[in-house]
Amino acid sequence: MHDLIEGVDRFRRDVFPAKADLFARLARTHRPATLFIGCSDARVVPELITQSEPGELFVVRTAGNLVPAHGPGPDAVAAAVEYAVAVLRVGGIVVCGHSGCGAMTALAEGHDLSAAPAVAGWLRHADASVARAARGGGVDALVRENVRAQLANLATHPPVARALAEGSLALRGWIYDIPTGSVEELDAPALTA
């Protein structure tokens, strides 16, 4: 915790004063251009990877960058997607997978998750990804198929389907490679509204 407190002190002393005008503007308006859905993995920092300023990205981070398909009942990811698309009117959504993803590794290698039942339940949202990657390719193939599956899941959300039909929203799938810093854009699957 001491490192965090020192970081806040540096932010208040060095960063905030240099960006005071930006923060004053952000206090009055919230208009991010993109919803970035990434993994909770601490090594994947959307603002750092994209070199975005505060206010430019609306960020959702989940284990395995999973987006459950639209369904009944409360869902924090669905609420964030709905808010970003219907209220903030973002023009793009990026689903970003990454190399060495612990969630995808656990699925690809069949790890025993009985001691982590909430994690095991959450990772069921990747069942389609696992089925698609079943032909082989290991973790890397699963990471790719998972991004594609999450893009398809996004299209099941009514605000996303409407925005896609109107042509006001673009979906992108990315793979971030941690050791090289490269970002590969996947071809988006054909999505229908």
pLDDT for the residue 188: 47
> Is 13 considered catalytic here?
no
**Strands across the sheet containing 183-186:** 57-62, 34-39, 92-98, 170-176, 183-186
Q: Where are the alpha helices (DSSP H) in the chain?
A: 2-10, 16-18, 20-28, 46-50, 76-82, 102-108, 117-122, 127-132, 138-154, 158-166
In sequence order, the 6+-apart residues with CB closer than 8 A to the CB of 116 are none
> Is 39 considered catalytic here?
yes
Average pLDDT over residues 5-14: 93
> Is 125 considered catalytic here?
no
The pair phi, psi for residue 113, each rounded to 5°, is -110, 20
Residue 163: how many other CB atoms lie within 10 Å: 21
Of 98, 125, 148, 157, the catalytic one is 98
Q: Which two tokens stand for residue 39?
A: 């993994």
**Among candidates 148, 110, 113, which has minimal Cα distance to 129?**
148
Each residue of 33-74: pLDDT tens digit? 999 999 999 999 999 999 999 999 999 999 999 999 999 888
Categorize the per-residue pLDDT at 122 as very low, low, confident or very high, splitting at 50, 70 and 90.
very high
Any bridge partners for residue 172, and if so which?
94
Categorize the per-residue pLDDT at 157 as very low, low, confident or very high, splitting at 50, 70 and 90.
very high
> Is 43 considered catalytic here?
yes
Give the global pTM: 0.92
Of 70, 96, 101, 125, the catalytic one is 101
Residue 193: pLDDT over 60: no
Of 10, 12, 30, 43, the catalytic one is 43
Each residue of 64-100: pLDDT tens digit? 999 999 998 889 999 999 999 999 999 999 999 999 9
